[in-house]
Every structure is written in C-alpha cells, then in structure tokens.
Structure 1
Amino acid sequence: MRELVVTENITVDGVIDAGGDWFSPASSADTEDLNAALREHMAGADAVLLGRETFEAFREYWPKQTGDTTGVSEYLNRVHKYVLSGTLTEPGWDGSTIVRSLDEVARIKEQPGGTIVATGSVRMVQELARSGLVDEYRLFVYPVVRGEGRRLFDNPHKDQQLATVEVRHFVSGIILVRYRTV
C-alpha cells in the first residue's frame, strides 16, 4: 500500500497559499541544506497528486525550467502526476492522469508503488485530511506571520491526532516538521 504525504510550505500562523512574498527567507539565505532535504524526499516518491489549479500552474512553469538546480523540474517531469479535477479533460503533461474523486485517490493508494506527494492545492489537501487519506504531513515552516490567507487546517478532519516524527532546522531559519497521522 502506498502512503500519501502532504508537503507544504507554511507560515508560523498556518497559511499555505502562495499569495504575497513570504517565501523570501529562503531566497535570501543559504538553502543548500533545504535543497538536500527536498532531494531526499523526492527520491522516495514516485507520484505527485495536485489539484487542478496547482497542476496547471506547475504544468506551465516547471517543464520550462532548464537551469533548475533544486531537481524539482527533473523530478516533476519524471514522476507520475495525478490531478484531482472534475473539470479538466486533457492533462497536457506527459505522465499525467486525471482522477475525479477521493475514492479514486484511495484506490491509487492501494496499488503498489512509492510515496504519493500532495502539495499546494489547498482545497484538495483539506479534503484529503477530512477524508482520512493523509498518512504524513511534511511542513516546511517559514519564520513569517501572514495574518491572512488560506490555512492548512481551516477545517481539518475532526479530532485528527498527529505524532511528531522529525523536526529539522535549516540555515535559512525554515524548520521542517514531519507529523504522522495516528
């Protein structure tokens, strides 16, 4: 059985939408240790699950990144991509499959394979949490308070219990916190 891991960049106050410029702490500091952690996580995953809006943004951006030193572009072009959408008819990115429901996501988890990573896609990730499909959260906590924006746990699965697996500090001030669902 495959595991579903939610990986998000998140502010101290829980905001995960990409509005504004709160990613700047990583761009102004040494991020080699952070990039190494990302490469480590990518090595263990063979699929990505995205909501339609995030998928379309990724499809337009990442395949065009020829000088990407993080490995994200190569990773996204290599792994299988699932897009959860009720409206998309043609993915338009090699190695992509449209899934229409959380039941389909649950069936994909039952298949053999590596980790499935869900990222971005605020509404989809919240639905995954409420449905109990998330096995682990990998939260890259940025030392920023936004005060507004969509939060990861605005409407979480009721009484969700989490166990801390890892806390890792990076030179940039970002902290990785990994939680397993219990």
Structure 2
Amino acid sequence: MRDLVYTGFVSLDGVVDSPGGPAEGHRSGGWVAEGIEFLPEAFALKGEELADTTALLFGRRSYEAFAPIWRDSDDHAAYKDLPKYVLSTTLSDDALVEGWGPTTILRSAGDVADLKKSEGGAIFIHGSAELARRLADEGLIDRYNLLVFPVLLGAGKSLFSRADKDKQMLRLREAETYPNGIVKVIYDVG
C-alpha cells in the first residue's frame, strides 16, 4: 500500500491557503513570506521530501496554479518527470499542462484509494487543502508533513475538517523547532 502524504505550510490556527498571495480572497494571503526570518534549515523538509516522493496528487485548483509554474521552475525540476494525478470531476484532458510529465485525471476518492493500492512509493499532496480534507474524511491520508508557522490568521482555508466525526489520534514521527518560530512536525495517521 502506498502512503498518501499531505505536505504544507500551516498557520498555528490551521490555515493553509495563499502562502504566496491573496489568491484565495482573504486579507492574510502571503503570510509565509511576511514577518518570518528566512532560515534555510527551517525549509529543509521540502528538499527531504523529494527523496520519498514517487508521485504527486493535486486538486484541480492547485494543479492549475502549480503546473504552469512548477513545470519551468528549477526549484521543482525533480518533480517534472514524476507521475502526477489530479482529482477533479470537471478538469478535461485537454486542460492538462503539456511538458510536465505524465498526468492522470482521477474522478473520485475511490480512484485515489485504488491508486494507493498500486505499486510504488509515497504520493504527496502539495496545497490542495479541500482535497486533503476530503481524503482525510475518507481515511485516505497516511501522514502529515507540516511546517507550522507562529501566526494566527483567523481566516482562510483550513487544513482540517470541522465535521463531527470520531476522534483520530496521530503519532508523532518527527519534530524540530527553529529560532524563527517555525515548527516541523511529521505525524502518522492512525
């Protein structure tokens, strides 16, 4: 069984959207780059993940935002030839970004469950908060790799569902703190 890993930057109150700008339509967009001293070691998790990533999974909106930029980005060159999957009921094959490696459109959480049963290693989700919530509610997320920022935003897209469901325990795999206040936490689900 392949692991499905959510990775992202998250505020202390669980907001994950718009780290680079106000694209999601709330006033706190751009929070990752504002007011936090940049320390390369605090962001080393992103590089470490490359060794584990064998495929990428996106929701439609994150795919449409990332694909045209990451395709030509030297910082994301290692992702270019990896298999990519987009969970969407509306995206068509002709809307896929050319030149960014193999991309398959999945139409349901069941398709994601089937993907997890296929051969291969870890599948990583970047961004895609709505997708992550939906797949977590379906019991499909296996791990969270988070960089938690010392900021409270109060508004924005939440990583975690507010649905009334049974308590779910996470197991801490790794944690590290940095002088700029960022905390790296890696949790296994279940």
TM-score normalised by L of structure 2: 0.85
Aligned to 1:88: 91
- 1:50 pairs, out of 58, 61, 79, with 58
Q: Does 1:180 align with 2:188?
A: yes
Aligned to 1:147: 154
Deviates more, 1:124-133 or 1:161-170: 161-170
> In the superposition, relative to structure 1, how do residues 35 and 13 fare at CA in structure 2: closer, same or farther (>3 Å)?
closer
Task: Give the whole-Å Cα distance in 2 for the aligned partners of 1:10 and 1:50.
Answer: 17
Deviation at 1:120, TM superposition (A): 0.9
Identity %: 36
Contact preservation (8 Å) 1:45, 1:116? yes
Residue 71 of structure 2 aligns to a residue in which SS?
helix
After superposition, what is the alpha-carbon deviation per residue over 1:101-146, rounded to whole angstroms, capped at 9, x for unaligned?
A: 1101001100111100112111111001000001111111011111
Aligned to 1:23: 32
Contact preservation (8 Å) 1:25, 1:172? no
Amino acid at match of 2:166: K
- 1:78 pairs, out of 75, 81, 100, with 81
Contact preservation (8 Å) 2:137, 2:161? no
Task: Give the whole-Å Cα distance in 1 for the aligned partners of 2:53 and 2:105.
Answer: 19
Contact preservation (8 Å) 1:63, 1:77? yes
TM-score normalised by L of structure 1: 0.89
Amino acid at match of 1:24: A
Contact preservation (8 Å) 1:4, 1:133? yes
Q: Please list every run of 5 or more consecutive structure 1 residues that lacks an aligned counterpart in the other structure.
A: none
Deviates more, 1:107-116 or 1:22-31: 22-31
Q: Please list every run of 5 or more consecutive structure 2 residues that lacks an aligned counterpart in the other structure.
A: 23-28
Q: How many residues align?
A: 176
Q: Does 1:34 align with 2:4?
A: no
